[in-house]
Amino acid sequence: MTHAPVHAQIHAATLADLAPVAQLFDAYRQFYRYPSDLALASTYIAERLQKGESVILLACDGAGAALGFCQLYPTFCSLEAKPIYALYDLYVAPAARRAGIGKQLLLAAEQTARDRGMCRLDLTTAKTNTPAQAAYEALGWVRDEVYFAYSKVMDGPTP
């Protein structure tokens, strides 16, 4: 089902936005097959906002209802010796999909990165998330064909 385009109002979230952002974040985690845990989502988002460890862009409709969000983590590119943002989370509520909200959030992330002096935005997505891949590529994002991404889970401190 295709929705009519919606012009979202996008702003940098604050602690006043904690409840709607946490609900979206919990739904985002469920999309990636993690169990629902609104308390964990609320704590995590509150900590990021309180510590200034990320920028969360929140998209709302004209009535103020939350439609989606993206979260940007500041980091650095050693080779370019400049700061970058890792766009780690992007989620649009199912009822708001196909209305241009994701595109608006991506464009707002780009503008935020420019305004804050970042030289680049990086993101990863699931190989199976082809709708997101198409959206990124339509906006000029280029898939990395040179580097592989690796992860290693830490079990805890070594005694």
Q: Is 146 part of a structural domain of the chain?
A: no
The single-letter DSSP state of residue 58 is E
Q: Is 101 part of a structural domain of the chain?
A: yes
Look at residue 152 in the predicted model and tell me its pLDDT.
87
Look at residue 47 in the predicted model and tell me its pLDDT.
98
What CA–CA distance (Å, rounded) separates 123 from 64? 28
Q: Is 40 part of a structural domain of the chain?
A: yes
Q: Is 61 part of a structural domain of the chain?
A: yes
Q: Which residues of the chain have pLDDT under 50?
A: 1-2
Q: Is 147 part of a structural domain of the chain?
A: no
Q: Is 155 part of a structural domain of the chain?
A: no
Distance of CA 114 to the CA centre of its chain: 16
- pTM value is 0.91
Name the phi and psi angles at 43, rounded to 5: -65, -45
What CA–CA distance (Å, rounded) separates 126 from 29? 13
Domain of 116, in residue numbers: 9-138
- Count of domains in the chain? 1
Among candidates 106, 111, 109, 99, which has minimal Cα distance to 135? Answer: 106
Q: Is 76 part of a structural domain of the chain?
A: yes
Look at residue 1 in the predicted model and tell me its pLDDT.
44
Look at residue 3 in the predicted model and tell me its pLDDT.
65
CB contact at 8 A, 149 and 124: yes
CATH code where residue 66 lies: 3.40.630.30
Three-class secondary structure of residue 59 per DSSP:
strand
Q: Is 156 part of a structural domain of the chain?
A: no
Look at residue 155 in the predicted model and tell me its pLDDT.
83
Q: What is the DSSP string of 71-95?
A: EEEEEEETTTTEEEEEEEEEEE-GG
